[in-house]
């Protein structure tokens, strides 16, 4: 795996994301890949339809990298939390993370991920969307403080990570667990298998 934009062999798979969670999840499939972080400004207006927002951002990242590596396969992804017709993106600070956790307390929300696969030479453009639901426990201020002390939340949509100290805050989830983490492995595996990148 590499974070540089060096010349890569034709047919290589590139993950257009700096997310350590996506890197770990994609690696779990046993596929070889490089990492090239897209230098783009993501659309994060919380009032935008969340499905459209994650689809737009995933495509934006995949297109930016594919333009620079047109003979490679590029996977872009974007994830957000959706509640009350608004997206809860990555919190700007701990105060906003605390506010998000308060809003999520005792309620069910949706997690959307957009996936974009590109290969410019082969003229391949695949876009998929995956959704899961998560129900929070009723959590008090003490629990929120404990959670924020244990988990770095500022790089996570909704201000939480289901895979970190989830027993403190999560009551139930439906759909792909890995989608909630940041990369729906089941859908990703299916796509890569269809494209011949996985046996």
What are the distances in angstroms from CA 101 to CA 5, 7, 81, 145?
37, 43, 12, 10
For 59, the token pair is 């495509």
Which listed residue (78, 84, 127, 140) is catalytic?
A: 78
Give the contacts of 148 (CB within 8 A, at least 6 positions apart).
Answer: 94, 97, 98, 101
Give the contacts of 52 (CB within 8 A, at least 6 positions apart).
Answer: none
Helix (H) or strand (E) holding 192: helix 185-194
Give the contacts of 143 (CB within 8 A, at least 6 positions apart).
Answer: 168, 169
The question of whether 49 is a catalytic residue gets the answer: no
Residues classed as catalytic:
78
């Amino acid at each position: 795996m590499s974070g540089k934009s060096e010349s890569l062999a034709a047919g290589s798979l590139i993950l257009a994301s700096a997310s350590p969670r996506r890197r770990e999840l994609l690696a779990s499939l046993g596929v070889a890949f490089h990492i090239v972080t897209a230098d783009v400004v993501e659309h994060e207006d919380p009032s935008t339809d969340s499905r459209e927002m994650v689809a737009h951002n995933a495509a934006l990242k995949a297109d930016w990298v594919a333009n620079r590596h047109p003979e490679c396969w590029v996977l872009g992804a974007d994830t957000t939390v959706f509640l009350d017709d608004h997206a809860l993106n990555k919190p700007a600070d701990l105060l906003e993370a605390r506010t998000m956790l308060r809003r999520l307390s005792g309620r069910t929300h949706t997690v959307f991920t957009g996936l974009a696969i590109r290969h410019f030479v082969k003229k391949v453009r695949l876009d998929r969307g995956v959704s899961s639901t998560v129900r929070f426990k009723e959590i008090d201020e003490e629990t929120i403080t404990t959670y924020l002390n244990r988990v770095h939340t500022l790089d996570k949509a909704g201000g939480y990570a289901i895979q970190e100290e989830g027993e403190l805050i999560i009551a139930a989830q439906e759909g792909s667990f890995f989608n909630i983490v940041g990369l729906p492995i089941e859908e990703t595996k299916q796509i890569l298998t269809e494209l011949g990148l996985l046996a």
